[in-house]
Amino acid sequence: MSSLLIVEDHALVREGMAQTLTRLGSDWRIIEAPDATSAIALIDEGVEFDLVVTDLILPGMNGFSLLAMLRERDPSLPVVVVSALCDKVTVSRAMRQGASGFVSKSDSGDQLIQAVRTVLSGGLYTPPERRTPAPRIGRTSAICASSPTVGHGLTNAQTRVLALLVEGRSNREVAESLGLAEGTVKVHVTRIFRAFKVGSRAQLLTLLSHNGSRRPGAG
């Protein structure tokens, strides 16, 4: 039996991906881990996996560090990243650090299955460029664009910060996830507020909800 490991800290998203990935067939065993440390512990205990599916924004060790550790332990182990951060810079960095596939959290379950099958067959999979987001597969919405502006003149860095704000991350969590100083994150947040002409996170999320970037009840 083949084994697949899902690394995702949001239980609803993790369970949703697990349900989607059951479509690979009954000969697949799906194991879940809430963070990178737990994932590495499973591998170090001798659990063998044929594929890893991981988020980039994880508590403690982030997904980029996990990619490096997985490559160090087994360079042949294929990894598919599923992330709300899907700008070109993030995708390129993940692929350079060892990912074989990258799927946006705004993509459909069909696209996730396609990415996994492509990677398992020895290919590489990256998100197709598009102007409008596709249906989501989980409770976390994605801030994606083929350009770095997201329609408001945002830079790549600000787009990545915005995606984490939408997930409800604090400035400190954003800083840890992106490897930035907390003061730098505060500067980005201020400029994001200015770009969207809002004065608080609540106003920003309300605006994004009305614009369809974040739907009410998405968590």
Handedness of CA 81, 145, 215, 166 (dihedral sign): positive
Query: Among residues 73, 102, 120, which one ends one of the domains?
Result: 120
Tell me, yes or no, whether 98 and 19 share the same domain: yes
Q: What's the pLDDT score for residue 210? A: 63
Where does residue 60 fall: left (phi above 0), alpha (psi -120 to 50 degrees), or beta otherwise? Answer: left
Tell me, yes or no, whether 24 and 110 share the same domain: yes
Residue 144, domain member (yes or no): no
On the question of pLDDT at 199 being above 60, the answer is yes
Give me the mean pLDDT over the 4-16 stretch: 94
Residue 168, domain member (yes or no): yes
On the question of pLDDT at 179 being above 60, the answer is yes
The mean-pLDDT minimum among 77-81, 94-98, 156-160 falls in 156-160
Tell me, yes or no, whether 176 and 92 share the same domain: no
Total of domains in the chain: 2
Tell me, yes or no, whether 197 and 91 share the same domain: no
* Domain CATH code at residue 162: 1.10.10.10
Let me know: does 75 contact 96? Beta carbons within 8 Å. Answer: no
Tell me, yes or no, whether 41 and 100 share the same domain: yes
Residue 146, domain member (yes or no): no
Q: What's the pLDDT score for residue 151? A: 55
pTM check: above 0.75? no
User: pLDDT band at residue 59, thresholds of 50, 70 and 90?
Assistant: confident
Residue 196, domain member (yes or no): yes
Distance CA(34)–CA(9), nearest Å, equals: 4
Tell me, yes or no, whether 114 and 195 share the same domain: no
For the segment 127-175, what is each residue's pLDDT rounded down to a tens digit? 776 433 333 333 344 445 433 334 567 887 888 888 888 777 788 888 8
Tell me, yes or no, whether 31 and 77 share the same domain: yes
Distance CA(60)–CA(24), nearest Å, equals: 30
Residue 24 sits at φ, ψ, to 5 deg, of -70, -25
Query: Among residues 120, 135, 164, which one ends one of the domains?
Result: 120
Q: Residue 87: give the domain boundaries.
A: 2-120
Give me the mean pLDDT over the 54-68 stretch: 90
Query: Among residues 93, 120, 147, which one ends one of the domains?
Result: 120
Q: What's the pLDDT score for residue 134? A: 36
